[in-house]
Structure 1
Amino acid sequence: MTLYFSTKKIPQLQHLTLPQRLEALQIAERKLTGPEKLLLNILKLLVVIPVFVLIIQISTNWMAIFWALLVTLLYPLIIKPVHHGLCVKYIPNTHRQGD
């Protein structure tokens, strides 16, 4: 699976405008299989749960807020490439500007 950090980098979507790319990605997301959706949701949980654990630790360690913010900022850097990589196989190669 290739990881794409931007929808501009997906070969099937390079010639489309941003709204068209997002629409094509949304259509492809609906076609994800159950195990793919499960994998994506588990990955999201693995990123989100530490944030809440760190927030709970703020009462004893005020530096935990910085770690929680760091993990929160890393969320799109971890989730979006995997999301795009899973969806790319459901994007048809025949998207054209007028569609």
Structure 2
Amino acid sequence: MRVYVLVKPSSRRLEIKGVKEERLEVLLTAPAKENKANVQLVSFFSDSLNIPKSAISVLVGNHGRKKTVGIGPIADPQGVARKLTELSTGWSLGA
């Protein structure tokens, strides 16, 4: 699974703000220095989606704000897609 992300490093909050430019907009508190923002992005997705960090990687955009994040292999890709939708809209699709 690929997730297209637009990150805003050095933000005041750590959160998914919504969708911007057809990408998931993620606010990160870590600075865009020494890979800190990428590490926080992977950790944030891991915690938010309840999947191991080893299943998440930045495939494209290591040095930019526009990133492609790879997630997988995972047992329940539909569940992860549903959770990403919930996080991006602030709306729950139900369990």
Verify same fold: TM over 0.5. no
Higher helix share: 1
Instruction: Name the structure with the higher strand share.
Output: 2
Q: Point out the structure with max Rg over C-alpha.
A: 1
TM-score where L is the length of structure 2 = 0.28
